């Protein structure tokens, strides 16, 4: 039998075959590794860190709750901290979309939401409604169900045989318009595809439509026209389809509003949350259900057959409540709007580079897209990994970014996202822009 080399680490890493530094500490918008190297956290990890690293008040709130009661099962007990968090969060939720179902991550939240939509229609006796319409450029999670609802061919490919089919509508990705038109002359024609898909599938079979208010990792902070969401809401209402807003990435101040749906004024039937909800201090996700959905399930003899071991967790709720305190008391959502404008002003200058095709976003959620040809907006082949190369060079220089892509053509496309903590300073924004500028030049981009 051949000898098996003993691994240097028994951790199964997120990136196979790639050595990453060991974090030592973090504070504000800065992270240090064990060697003492300093990194500016230009992306909040994966657009998670909003109130900043090293918040002792959050750690202390978690410790106090863990000492009092760390775990109870959600079917057996509630907790004062969970009840208080739900009450406080309801003030910021859009419309009456404020009935909290707390879980452990964004994928869990979206899985919960689509099952909740199905259960709602069952409660109304609409047993044929089971399909969920998603968009062609989108991301809703990494469970099999949520990956099936994600327009990310590169992520789906290895697991395609395992994924259930789901109807797909055209994404409102203006920089790479699927119709080859331009806003506003287009009249937001892409939204009509949603109705076409619902009619093709049969409205009596469609339970929900799920959409990110701003397209996140799959398109790199692509902001749809605001009237897209309003018209999509009207289409859903016309056909009895629930509107699910995926705010996992955009929620809790990231776009300069508490929730990105506020920009369009649309109130969803169900909203999902995660990431910045706890500021990164606990794994978290949540569903916020509207009153008609919650009431229908409460009255239904079948109820809502669903659950996770760590849903409704008191320590998670404590982290979220402490994060909410910081966001409110320090006006960080408003600060994200102001600092987002300052960041955008600095990053737009990167458009002078020959292969920076677009700089876009809202608040502190910004995407820098790389293209092979600016005039035609032709992407680089995804296999070349231009976004990853830029991210790696910036990281070497001390800036953490969030590279990704595939949204330009379904498979090709390169974008690097910037989304620093809301406590980022102007000097740190200058530093981030300078590092990206130097990295682009070093790579000939």
Does residue 6 carry a pLDDT above 90?
no
pLDDT, residue 2, reads: 61
Residue 409 binned pLDDT confidence (cut-offs 50, 70, 90): confident
The per-residue DSSP string of 383-424 comes to GG-HHHHHHHHHHHTTEE-EEE--TTTSS--EEEEE---TT-
What is the per-residue pLDDT across 146-195, written as a single tens digit (0 to 9) for each?
999 999 999 999 999 999 999 999 999 999 999 999 898 899 999 999 99
Does residue 10 carry a pLDDT above 90?
no
The SS3 of residue 153 is: helix
Average pLDDT over residues 116-124: 97
Residue 415 binned pLDDT confidence (cut-offs 50, 70, 90): very high
CB atoms within 10 A of CB 162: 10
H-assigned helices in 124-191:
144-148, 153-156
pLDDT, residue 259, reads: 98
CB atoms within 10 A of CB 431: 18
Q: What is the DSSP letter of 191?
A: G
Per DSSP (E only), the strands in 2-62 are 23-27, 30-33, 38-41
Residue 4 binned pLDDT confidence (cut-offs 50, 70, 90): low
**Could you give the domains of the chain?**
23-54+331-442 (3.90.1150.10), 56-329 (3.40.640.10)
| Half-sphere exposure of residue 96: CA atoms within 13 angstroms, side-chain side | 6
Average pLDDT over residues 108-121: 97
What is the per-residue pLDDT across 208-238, written as a single tens digit (0 to 9) for each?
999 999 999 999 999 999 899 999 999 999 9
The SS3 of residue 313 is: coil
d(CA 154, CA 137): 11
Per DSSP (E only), the strands in 265-424 are 270-274, 285-289, 356-361, 366-370, 399-400, 402-404, 414-418
Phi and psi at 320, nearest 5°, equal: -65, -40
């Amino acid at each position: 039998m051949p000898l098996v080399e003993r691994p240097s680490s028994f951790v199964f890493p997120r990136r196979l075959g790639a050595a990453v530094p060991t974090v030592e500490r973090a504070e504000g918008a800065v992270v240090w590794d064990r060697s003492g190297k300093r990194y500016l956290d230009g992306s909040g990890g994966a657009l998670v860190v909003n109130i900043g690293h090293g918040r002792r008040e959050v750690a202390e709130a978690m410790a106090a709750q863990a000492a009092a009661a760390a775990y109870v099962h959600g079917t057996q007990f509630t907790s004062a901290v969970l009840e208080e968090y739900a009450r406080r969060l309801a003030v910021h939720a859009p419309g009456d979309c404020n009935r909290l179902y707390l879980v452990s991550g964004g994928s869990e939240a979206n899985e919960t939401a689509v099952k909740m939509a199905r259960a709602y229609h069952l409660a109304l006796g609409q047993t044929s409604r089971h399909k969920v319409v998603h968009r062609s450029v989108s991301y809703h999670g990494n469970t099999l169900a949520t990956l099936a609802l994600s327009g990310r061919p590169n992520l789906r490919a290895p697991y395609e045989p395992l994924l259930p089919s789901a109807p797909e509508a055209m994404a409102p990705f203006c920089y790479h318009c699927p119709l080859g038109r331009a806003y506003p002359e287009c009249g937001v024609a892409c939204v009509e595809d949603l109705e076409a898909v619902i009619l093709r599938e049969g409205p009596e079979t469609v339970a929900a439509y799920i959409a990110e208010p701003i397209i996140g990792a799959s398109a790199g902070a692509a902001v749809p026209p605001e009237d897209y969401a309003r018209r999509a809401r009207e289409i859903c209402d016309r056909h009895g389809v629930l509107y699910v807003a995926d705010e996992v990435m955009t929620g809790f101040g990231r776009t300069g509003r508490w929730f990105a749906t506020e920009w369009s004024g649309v109130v969803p039937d169900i909203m999902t949350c995660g990431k910045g909800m706890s500021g990164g201090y606990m794994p978290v996700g949540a569903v916020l259900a509207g009153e008609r959905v919650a009431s229908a399930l409460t009255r239904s003899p079948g109820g809502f057959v669903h659950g996770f071991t760590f849903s409704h967790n008191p320590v998670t709720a404590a982290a979220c409540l402490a994060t909410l305190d910081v966001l409110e008391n320090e006006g960080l959502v408003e600060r994200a709007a102001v600092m987002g404008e300052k960041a955008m002003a600095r990053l737009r200058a990167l458009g002078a580079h020959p292969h920076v095709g677009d700089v876009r976003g809202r608040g502190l959620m910004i995407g820098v897209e790389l293209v092979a040809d600016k005039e035609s907006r032709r992407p680089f082949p995804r296999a070349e990994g231009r976004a990853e190369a830029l991210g790696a060079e910036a990281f070497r220089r001390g800036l953490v970014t969030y590279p990704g892509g595939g949204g330009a053509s379904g498979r090709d496309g390169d974008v690097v996202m910037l989304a620093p903590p809301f406590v980022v300073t102007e000097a740190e924004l200058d530093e981030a822009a300078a590092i990206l500028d130097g990295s682009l030049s070093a790579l000939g981009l």
